[in-house]
Amino acid sequence: MRPHFLIVGAASSGTSTLHDYLRLHDDLFLPEGEPHFFSKETTWQKGPGWYEACFAAAPPGAIVGEKSASYYRDDRAPERIHRLLPEAKLVWIFREPIARAHAHYWRRVARGREPLPFEAALAADTGRSDDERGYVRRGRYADLLEPFLERFPRERMLFLLLDDLKTDPLATVNRLLEFVGAPTWTALPQTLRSNARTRIPRSRHLQHWARRAFGEGRAGYRAVARFNLHPVDRYPAMRPETRRRLEEQLLPQVERLEKQIGRDLAAWRP
């Protein structure tokens, strides 16, 4: 079995929340994790049989989908998806790109994957599609959307905003349910905000050391994380000059994205 729809991105923009809501729907089946089949070379080399096995537990008649937020920013994914799933529906959710970059940075810091301060991390970002940082590149939505628009008709793509998911989650999730052909809800079965708990390390270097010394998720790493990570209401503010520099790089992308998806994104402008 192959999926009918894919949630392709953007990362750090609400894809996990959408995925977790859809997994609560009786008519849908999505695997628990992210297959990353079209974007990760090691899984792509396993072939379509491996990918189809990800959906083997789907009950008869279920509408099948998956979420891999790496697809939208991988250069190989648009053609690979079109080759294997030419009739698939694609779901996008976008977040204001500077906020996305900042959240992406702090999530990597919290996992011990980023030892540098934000400004230094931006400078170290190569801009390549395989760079794990990708703070700016992954917010160049117009550029990243273009190869999908070249291969898939617009009517098979749904464009959502994280702003909508926050302000009216029921209406936003119902738009997605209608798009994939599932019955809508009169009320959400529960309120979800996946990955919403904001935690940052007291010591960025200690968190990075723990990941290198023990491996992410191992007992030693978890012990350090329990001590080192603490909850905050919001991420530390970035420097005004850093924000201005990011605006110069990303605002032209916002203007193009407005035309591509037919949405007013004035709230994303300074």
Rg (CA), the chain: 19
- What is the β-pairing status of strands 229-231 and 199-201? antiparallel
**How sure is the predictor about 233, in pLDDT bands with cuts at 50, 70 and 90?**
confident
pLDDT of residue 266 exceeding 90, the answer is yes
For the chain, what is the mean pLDDT? Answer: 93
Residue 34 sits at the vertex; the CA angle it makes with 33 and 39, to the nearest 5 degrees, is 165
- Average pLDDT of 32-40? 96
The model's pTM is 0.92
What the block records as the tokens of 252 is: 């032209």
pLDDT of residue 190 exceeding 90, the answer is no
Q: 52-87 pLDDT, tens per residue?
A: 999 999 999 999 999 999 999 999 999 999 999 999
| Domain annotation for the chain: domains and CATH numbers | 5-198+233-268 (3.40.50.300)
Q: Helix, strand, coil shares of the chain as percentages rounded to 5? A: 50, 10, 40
Cis previous bond, 120, omega within 30: no
Q: 133-153 pLDDT, tens per residue?
A: 899 999 999 999 999 999 999
**How sure is the predictor about 198, in pLDDT bands with cuts at 50, 70 and 90?**
confident
